[in-house]
Structure 1
Amino acid sequence: MRWIDLHDVGWGECIVLGGDRGGILMVDCGSSNLKLGENGPGFYEYVADSIIPRYREAESRSFFLTHCHRDHLCGLWRILEAAPGYFGALYLPVPPGGEEGRPVLLEFALYAAAFLSRLTGYARVNVSVLTLFTRAARLAGAGAVFPVREGDGFFLDGAEYEVIWPPETGFVYPPELTEAVDALDAMLSAPLLPPCAREFLALRERFCASYRHMCSASPVRGEDAEETRALYNRIEALIPELLLLPCAGDAAALLAAGETQDAYSGALNAACAVFQNVRRGGPGPDDILMTGDAPPESILAASARMYDGYSVLKAPHHGTAGYFFPLEIAADHILISNGPYRGGGEIASGYAELPAVRHCSGNAACSYYKEYGSCCNRLALCGAPPGGAILPVRCPAAARPGARPPCRVRVVSREKNLSCLCDAGRRAQKNF
C-alpha cells in the first residue's frame, strides 16, 4: 500500500487506498452534507470534479461499501452514473441473517418501503439495502458485483484483505426491530383483509429467498439479480393497495416511531462490513483495520480475528463518542472522517489520549479542539520517518502543503492536500 487518501466530505466518508502497482480501492463514498462548507461545492459536484478525475489514471479501480447509509453510499451511485465502467469490482455487504437465518433487515426495509410516506420517515429509515445489489448490477454489470461477509477476501495489487464482520447468519438484531417485524406480520396476517395483504407476505418471502440466492454467487449472476429486481417491482406495484388496508396507519406509526427507526439504523451500523489486511509474516506498515460505522459490540464480536496492533486504524462512525471502543488495540495512525453537520456527533476525546497520530478530515466537531483551540497532534510523535520519530509539525507535509507525508496518509480537501495538523493550513469550520 503506497498511500491513503482521506477525503474531506463533511459528515460522510470516502477513503481511498493506493496499491503498490497503481490500483486503488475506494472504501465508501457518501455525505450527509449537500454542500461542503459555506462557500464550498456541492457534494456531488466534488465527486464529479475532484474524486472521479483524481483516480481516473489508476491501473485498476475497485470499491468496498461498508453499509447502506447515505453518508457512505450516495457518492457511489453518482460515480457509476457519471463514469460507467469506472470500477472493475464492487464489494458489497450482505445483510446478515438473524436467528435461524431470518433476514430481519430485509423484512423491516420492505415494510418501510410499503407503508412509510416518502415525505416523512421514509428518508430516515433508508431502504437502499433492498436494491443495493440489483442497482449495482444494472449500473456496473453483474460480473463486477461481489457480495461479502465474514470470511470473504479480496485483493488490491496482490495484497490480500479479509472481511472479519458480520457473520452470514446468527447475527443478533435489536429486540425492538424483531418485535416490530413480528407486530407488522401480525397486522397483515389478520383475517378478512383484502388479498393484497397475503400477496405482500408471499412476495416478501420470495424476495428474501431470491436475495439470499443472488448473494450466494460471487460475482452475482445477472439472471439472479433480474429475478430479485422483478420481485421487488411486484411488491412496489402493490403499495397503492397496501396503503388502503385498515392497518396501514398503525403500520406506518410503528415504522415511524423513534425507537423503531433508531433500532433499524443501529442495526445497519452493527451489520457494517469490517475488514483488515491479511498478514504475510509479522506486523508491518500495511496493517490496516477498516471499521465503517461498526459499534463497540460489533468490534468486540470480531476482536478474536483482529491483530493486536495496526499501522492504520479507521475510527468507527466518524470517531464519535458513542462508538469509541476501549479495546487494547494499538495503532500508529487513526483516520477520523468527521465534518460539520447538525445531526452528527462530536469526536470522542479518548482518541486524543491514544499514542497515535490522528488524521481528521475536519475539526468542527472535535471536543479537544474546542477546549484547547489547537490540534491534538501537536503533542504527538510520528514514527513514520525513516530517521526516527518526529513531531508532526516537522513533517514535510506540514511544512510544504501538498508534499508527500512519510506516513503515506493524505487528508484531501476540495482545495489541496492537507497535513495531520488540523489547525494549520485549513479554513475554520463550523456546523451548519
Structure 2
Amino acid sequence: MKIKMYNVGFGEAVLLKKSADGREENLLVDFGSDTPENCIADIGQTTGKNVNVTTEIYNDTKGEEVSVLLSHFHMDHIYGVLETDLLDHVCLKRTYIPNLLLMQSRDNTYSFLQIQILRELFESVYLYEEKKIKFSLYDLLVKLTNNNATLQFVEAGDHFDFAGDSYSVLWPDFGKIKVNKKVSDSLTKLLRLIDADFNDNGEYTLRFIDEYIGALCDAYRRYEETRGDVKIDLDYIKNLQNRIAEYYFPLLLNQNKQIMKLIAASIESIKCQENRISVVFQDFPCELEANLLMTGDIPRPEIKKIESQIKDVHYKVVKAPHHGTPTYYWENLPKSDTIMISNGEPRSQHRKWGKIAYEYAGFYNSNKKCKIICTNYRCQMEDLQQRGAQRCSPCVGVEPFREIIL
C-alpha cells in the first residue's frame, strides 16, 4: 500500500492507494483545510501559496476507482469535497461518513435516489454557516453520491472493504455518546415508510426502484449495442423519477412532520458533538500486527474508550489524532513504526492550533526505530528534535505531500 499525506496546511487529506485484481484502488480519507485559499481550488486552477492539492489528488487517481471517507464534518476535513470539482471528475465508487443519522436499515447504505427522497430532512441541517456561505448536510450528501456512488453511514462495529482488505470501524460508538433513543426508533419508522414491501427473503426494495434501474440498464445496453448511434428517450426514465418523488414526498411532508422535526433536531445535536464523532478505523490485525490506524480528530476521552481494543497491537502506521496538537496528545499511543502528523500553518487567529505536542518527541525517543512523518513546514519539528525526536527526511521546505510505502 502507498499512503500519501498531502500538504493542506492545518487540515487533512490522506490518500491510500493499493492494487487489487490488477487495478489500482484509492481511498481518500478527508480533504479539507483551515486555509483552503492557499492550497485547494478546482482542478487545474492556481492557489494562493502552495500546489493545488485538488489537482494533485486528481492526477494521482486519474482513471482509477476512488472511494472517500470523511471522518467528521469540520471544514478542515471536508472543504475540498464540498467546494471543488474533484468528485465530478474521479471514478467515484463508494463514500463513508459517521452514522450521525443512526440509520437502522439493512446495511446503512444509501443511493443518490434515496438522498433525494430525504432531501427535505437533510436540507434542514447546516454543517457550516457564515454570512455568505452555507453548507447543508444535503449539499454534502449530493456530492458524495455523485455519479451513482453509494453512501454508507458507519459506526463502531461496522466493517468495510478496500482493495481486497477488510477494515474495522472502532469509533464512533453511539451507545457511548449520549443520544436520544427516540431518534433510532423514529428513523426506523420513517425508513419503513420509505422502504416498500419486504420480499419473501425479508429483504426490502423501494417502490418503483427495480423498474427504474431496469429502464436505466436497458437504455445503457441499447446505447452500447449501437455504439452511441441510438437516441435514448429519457422521458420514461424521468417519469419514473417523478413517480418515485410523488409517492414518497407526501409520506414525509404530510404524515411525518413530527418525526422529521425530531430527527432533524437529533441530527443537529449529534453533529454538534463535532470531533467526538470522528471515525477511527484500522485494518484487521493479524497476530497483533496491523498496517494502519486512522484516528481522525478523536479527543482524549473518546480515545480512552477504544484503547483496550488496540493497546497490544503493533502498527506500521498510526495517524496522530487532531494534527498532533497538545490538547489531543495520546499518552498511550500504540506501538508503531511511523506516526503521521498532518499539521501546517493555520489561520492567524488559530495560531495555537499549529503546535505539535512535545510528548511525541519523548515517545519516539524511547523507540529509535520509529519515525515522525509530517506536513509541517514551519520548522516546529525542530522543537521536537531538540527533545530527541527522530528527524523526518527531508523536514525543511514546502513539500506538496509526504509519502509512505508499506
1:313 equivalent in structure 2:
318
CA offsets 1:346-375 (integer angstroms, 9 cap, x no match): 111111111321110114383x52476799
Q: Which residue of the other structure, out of 328, 345, 365, is the alignment partner of 1:323? A: 328
Q: What's the offset of the Cα at 1:41?
A: 2.4
CA separation in 1, counterparts of 2:388 and 2:7?
Answer: 17
Q: Which residue of the other structure, out of 110, 133, 136, is the alignment partner of 2:141? A: 133
Q: What's the offset of the Cα at 1:311?
A: 1.3
Q: What's the offset of the Cα at 1:211?
A: 11
Q: What's the offset of the Cα at 1:334?
A: 0.4
Q: Which residue of the other structure, out of 36, 39, 57, is the alignment partner of 1:34? A: 36
Q: Which residue of the other structure, out of 348, 358, 363, is the alignment partner of 2:372? A: 358
Residues 150/130 of structure 1: CA separation in 2 closer, same or farther (3 Å cut)? farther
Matched, 1:348 2:357: yes
Long gaps (5+) in structure 2: 40-45, 103-121, 196-202, 210-243, 258-267, 365-369
Residues 150/119 of structure 1: CA separation in 2 closer, same or farther (3 Å cut)? same
SS in 2 for 1:333: strand
CA separation in 2, counterparts of 1:325 and 1:8?
Answer: 23
CA offsets 1:148-196 (integer angstroms, 9 cap, x no match): 11111111221110111112444137xxxx9xxxxxxxxxxxxxxxxxx
Matched, 1:119 2:131: yes
Between the two proteins, what is the percent identity of the paired residues?
Answer: 23
- Within a 5 Å distance, the mapping from 1:255-334 to structure 2 comes to 267-279=273-285, 281-284=286-289, 286-308=290-312, 309-334=314-339
2:156 equivalent in structure 1:
150
Residues 264/160 of structure 1: CA separation in 2 closer, same or farther (3 Å cut)? closer
Q: What's the offset of the Cα at 1:330?
A: 1.1
The amino acid of 2:363's aligned partner reads: L
Structure with greater strand percent: 2
Q: What's the offset of the Cα at 1:412?
A: 9.7
CA offsets 1:320-360 (integer angstroms, 9 cap, x no match): 11111211511111010011013234111111111321110
Contact 2:125–2:136 (CA under 8 A) maintained in structure 1: no
Residues 144/346 of structure 1: CA separation in 2 closer, same or farther (3 Å cut)? same
CA separation in 2, counterparts of 1:412 and 1:131?
Answer: 33
Q: What's the offset of the Cα at 1:47?
A: 3.8
1:8 equivalent in structure 2:
7
CA separation in 2, counterparts of 1:32 and 1:117?
Answer: 15
CA offsets 1:245-266 (integer angstroms, 9 cap, x no match): xxxxxxxxxxxxxxxx9x9887
Q: What's the offset of the Cα at 1:288?
A: 1.1
The amino acid of 1:30's aligned partner reads: G
The amino acid of 1:90's aligned partner reads: T
Residues 113/361 of structure 1: CA separation in 2 closer, same or farther (3 Å cut)? closer
The amino acid of 1:65's aligned partner reads: L
CA separation in 2, counterparts of 1:12 and 1:68?
Answer: 12
Contact 2:126–2:136 (CA under 8 A) maintained in structure 1: no
Long gaps (5+) in structure 1: 98-108, 179-204, 236-260, 379-391, 402-410, 421-432
CA separation in 2, counterparts of 1:93 and 1:314?
Answer: 18
- Within a 5 Å distance, the mapping from 1:138-217 to structure 2 comes to 139-141=146-148, 143-172=149-178, 209=187, 213=191
Contact 1:269–1:293 (CA under 8 A) maintained in structure 2: yes
Contact 2:31–2:80 (CA under 8 A) maintained in structure 1: yes
| Pairs aligned (count) | 312
CA offsets 1:118-144 (integer angstroms, 9 cap, x no match): 429xx7xx864465435533x242x52
Residues 72/322 of structure 1: CA separation in 2 closer, same or farther (3 Å cut)? same
CA separation in 1, counterparts of 2:171 and 2:190?
Answer: 17
- Within a 5 Å distance, the mapping from 1:59-78 to structure 2 comes to 60-78=65-83
2:118 equivalent in structure 1:
none
Contact 1:274–1:290 (CA under 8 A) maintained in structure 2: yes
RMSD: 4.9
CA offsets 1:406-430 (integer angstroms, 9 cap, x no match): xxxxx9943x76799xxxxxxxxxx
CA separation in 1, counterparts of 2:403 and 2:3?
Answer: 12
Contact 1:7–1:14 (CA under 8 A) maintained in structure 2: yes
TM-score (norm 1): 0.58
SS in 2 for 1:29: strand
Q: What's the offset of the Cα at 1:9?
A: 0.8
The amino acid of 2:293's aligned partner reads: L
SS in 2 for 1:171: coil
